[in-house]
């Protein structure tokens, strides 16, 4: 596994992926995904869809998941900086309700692998950010679910400046907390 390093987080199935970056006076090159290396590291998701979003400073997207068609994701930032978060919502998991997060930037080139069964969200820390991710299941809008971004039962330590409220979508403003969560909700 020469092109990547894989580091487990507080939720062992969530992995920080750091690519080897090769640079010289012309610029740089890196692999962002290599099935063989990922499989050797135990990440066997078969990705079927790539997505990209752009956001401005203070935008918080999440915490999102799909109920009956869960998605594993490999996320990264190609411009700017975000604080990326995964929350374990697998009822049988010993880490149910816990979260882990990482700062992903265009400069550090880190990626986060989030397995199926976790909710996902991110906060934009830079003026703007371009966020890209691979999914191992197609998007099903009718299957969307979400958790409240500031649920005290989860206790995510978002790096928001004091007094600054995040910019949220209308649906992100009304998602329930973990105590109201059930995977069978419609």
**Rounded CA separation 101/158 (Å):** 9
Catalytic residue (choose from 64, 139, 140, 175): 64
**Rounded CA separation 138/47 (Å):** 9
Beta bridge pairs of residue 17: 6, 111
**Rounded CA separation 118/98 (Å):** 10
Contact 14, 102 (CB under 8 A): no
**Rounded CA separation 39/79 (Å):** 27
Respond yes or no: is residue 133 known to be catalytic.
yes
Residue 82 token pair: 């975000």
Longest dimension (CA), the chain: 54
Residue 174 token pair: 């009304």
Respond yes or no: is residue 64 known to be catalytic.
yes
10 C-beta neighbours (distance < 10 Å), count: 12
Catalytic residue (choose from 120, 133, 140, 175): 133
Q: State which H helix or E strand residue 170 sits in.
A: helix 170-174
Catalytically active residues, by annotation? 64, 133
């Amino acid at each position: 596994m020469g092109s990547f390093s894989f580091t487990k987080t507080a939720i062992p199935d969530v992995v920080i992926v750091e690519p080897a970056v090769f640079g010289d006076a012309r610029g740089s090159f890196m692999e962002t995904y290599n099935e063989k290396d990922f499989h050797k590291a135990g990440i066997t998701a078969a990705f079927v869809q790539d997505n990209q979003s752009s956001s401005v400073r203070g935008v918080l997207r999440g915490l999102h998941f799909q109920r009956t068609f869960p998605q594993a994701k490999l996320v990264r930032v190609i411009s700017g900086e975000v604080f990326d978060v995964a929350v374990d919502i697998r009822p049988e998991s010993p880490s149910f309700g816990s979260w882990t997060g990482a700062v992903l930037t265009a400069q550090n080139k880190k990626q986060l692998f989030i397995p199926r069964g976790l909710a996902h969200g991110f906060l934009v820390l830079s003026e703007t950010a371009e966020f890209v991710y691979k999914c191992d299941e197609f998007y099903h809008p009718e299957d969307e679910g979400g958790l409240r971004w500031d649920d005290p039962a989860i206790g995510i330590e978002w790096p928001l400046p004091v007094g600054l409220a995040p910019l949220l979508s209308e649906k992100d403003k009304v998602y329930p907390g973990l105590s109201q969560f059930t995977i069978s909700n419609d």
